Structure 1
């Protein structure tokens, strides 16, 4: 029998099989058709599927594996297939990038001005001058109590930056204005030592005459306006990547403060605790919240629990749904139900380490 005849016989056999299936289907049409009506909101079908999935041993699909020391954890011997199509929800379609006017800035001072813009400098100048007016009567010579301006405030901040770069923040200010050649010359060229210490003494970020009244409802009132303006500028000029992280930092500070913290495990044991939402790719600070303890009753009263802090730092109604947020386990108590776009950093206990 030739190849042509074999192929003809195979096709005839397939045709007979199809005809027999059609005849059996026609015979079944006479049977009574029963349709079970189900509520669309019923979860029974989903429950059955969930139970069936739970009964499936996942090790059947993972291939060869190592058994952990706890005799329960299973570690794959081979990596997952790399040629599998990535799910749409896992596609990274957003990259970290600057936006708006920040795209055109190249110089360091221009970029700095985006965050400490004229509105922030004006807040400092306005409130500092108000405080200077209230103390001018204590000076016999008016030239020793002159008001300040935006240019002088920027110069003061520049000297503070420069002092931090040169690590002279623990030196006495008189050492920075020495004329024997051992000091940093730029300090003497910018302003006098008297003016430097005068501005540091009287610089203010709020109206001190009304501070006591505002303290009744807000512990952060001394820097509230300036701090919120700075956070807005941080969010205005940058787009987060698809991954962000939430954690705390302790900003070193030993001055007088009603919400100063002592954390022995930190390098600087005393300071102000700040919660931050940071881009995990570019390490850019996107949102900040100062921990002040329990606020008095009023507009700034808010829960200080880890769950609520994370929710306030991550306004998911304002950001894209594909943002992945990594949070430390201390911010994920059992009361938090993670959303699909939140990722928890869970440390692996030592006993589950592979024995291989």
Structure 2
């Protein structure tokens, strides 16, 4: 029997079929019947098959096509067998584990977050602010026994950093109080000299015990605050199925033993951080500074493997996938992750794609000579970015990040400004009643020679004479700047 294949999708009439039979050579037939294999059916049969086999309004699902070539295998020197597989074909490990967690803000974060400030305090909590305040006051008392700082004033100090990041990110911080680059919100919040005083005394650990802790921890000056920040990031948000791990170089030229120089980065000098990020939201789930040689790393373990396993420790055993670049990718790392129900997707080519630089936009970064302050700036940037993600997820807010930072700065300084207004009203009331306080030598002495006065400055509470006064309200010239 001879078989004649017709062109795809073409139906022949009776006359066309007869003409084709007449023209066919006898050598093409073995004397049997000639059957026509039509590769396309009529429209009615197609519609009936679609109605019975497929759901309405749903496109047919395409199966991945193989290349038709046999799988090629290569054996490495170490005995590892590498097999080339067709793109799109499911692997043997695809169904080993599935994602079981519920991605998004945690229940505790959803209950707390009702404002921009609350989302920020989920990451930089009140306990951390109290620790920074206590360490700063202890440092100030070494030279100024009567120096003091409240938590609300510390929050106002942080709000100035955020306002500067939005309004005038270029230039020195003190320029925000100058006549040429004046930012009224910053001047209303705090005098320039008070801001400089807080910055000079700002500390994040107990200096008396630092020498002992530095022997085992190079990051001792900021280690406690950073650890608590990492814990708060993990408590407030559950990452999705896909996570990424990469490095961040926070630009700074401070003098410290772990400053890095990377010629390929836009800012070549800085402190390097390893970061694990949720792929969908860009939420920073975990971060760790690179401090050089780690004595706790096991002998023979690659640095990249050690970094990935530490960053992912909290997020393993839930069926996640981790995407890394060629620095982290290795066969041994994939085996270790598979044992913890986590898969690895690694990049092996030389083209590196960067994640969106959220931390570089509206950064509070400023010039400093102390590396703990530089790390503090980076932590504020990361906390603000995470707080923005949490606030949008919990409240449904859709505003821009710059607007969120301005709202956050306003809420950070709100309580301090209220307290400041109360003190100003009390000072006005006391100044309106003459003779209530004994005269004392002027403690400002900007324009006088130890004149005596019974009035105090409404801001710093120092006795101020008439020559050193600088407003209809009783402000000394230092606080007026």
- TM category (shorter chain) comes to 0.5 to 0.7
Q: Is 2:329–2:348's contact at 8 Å kept on the other side of the alignment?
A: no
Partner of 1:155: 156
Partner of 1:202: 201
Query: Which whole-Å CA distance do the structure 1 matches of 2:85 and 2:283 have between them?
Result: 37
Match of 1:177 in 2: 177
TM-score (norm: length of structure 1): 0.67
* 1:319 pairs with one of 301, 316, 321: 316
Unmatched segments (≥5 aa) in structure 2:
1-64, 70-82, 352-481
Where does 1:264-279 land on structure 2 (aligned, <5 Å)?
Answer: 264-279=263-278
Instruction: Report what 1:164 is aligned to.
Output: 165
1:244 aligned onto 2:243: yes
CA drift at 1:342: 2.2
**Residue 63 of structure 1: how far off its partner (Å):** 5.4
Match of 2:191 in 1: 192
Query: With structure 2 as the length reference, what TM-score do the two structures score?
Result: 0.50
1-structure distance, mates of 2:211, 2:194: 28
Equivalent position SS for 2:227: helix
Cα displacement (A) at 1:92 = 5.0
Kindly state the Cα deviation for residue 189 of structure 1 after the two structures are TM-superposed.
0.6
Distance in 1 between residues matched to 2:85 and 2:190, nearest whole Å: 68
User: How many positions carry a matched residue from both structures?
Assistant: 266
CA contact (8 A) 1:95 1:242 kept: no
- Is the contact made by 2:164 and 2:173 (CA closer than 8 Å) also made in structure 1? no
Change (3 A) 1:336 1:182: closer
- By how many angstroms is 1:233 displaced? 0.2
Paired residue for 1:62?
Answer: 66
Offset of residue 320 of structure 1? 3.2
Deviation at 1:322, TM superposition (A): 0.5
Q: Structure 1 292/237 Cα, relative in aligned 2: closer, same or farther at 3 Å?
A: same
Q: Which residue in the other structure is 1:328 paired with? A: 325
1:139-192: CA deviation from partner (whole Å, max 9, x where unpaired): xxx5xxx2111111111111011111223352350x2113x4741001111111
After superposition, the C-alpha distances for 1:29-69 in whole angstroms (9 at most, x for unaligned) are xxxxxxxxxxxxxxxxxxxxxxxxxxxxxxxx82568xxxx
CA distance in structure 2 between the partners assigned to 1:165 and 1:232 by the alignment: 28
From 133, 137, 140, give the equivalent of 1:125.
133
Provide the alpha-carbon RMSD of the alignment: 3.1
Q: Which consecutive unaligned segments of at least 5 residues does structure 1 have?
A: 1-60, 66-71, 82-86, 351-356
SS in 2 for 1:277: strand
Cα separation, partners in 2 of 1:348 and 1:210, compared to 1, 3 Å:
closer
Q: Which ranges of 4 or more aligned residues in structure 1 deviate by more than 6 Å?
A: 72-76
> Are the counterparts in 2 of residues 329 and 344 from structure 1 also a CA contact under 8 Å?
no
Are 1:102 and 2:101 matched, yes or no? no
**Distance apart, 1:284 and its partner CA:** 0.9
Offset at 1:91?
Answer: 5.2
SS at match of 2:141: helix
CA separation of 1:328 and 1:121: change in aligned 2, threshold 3 A: same
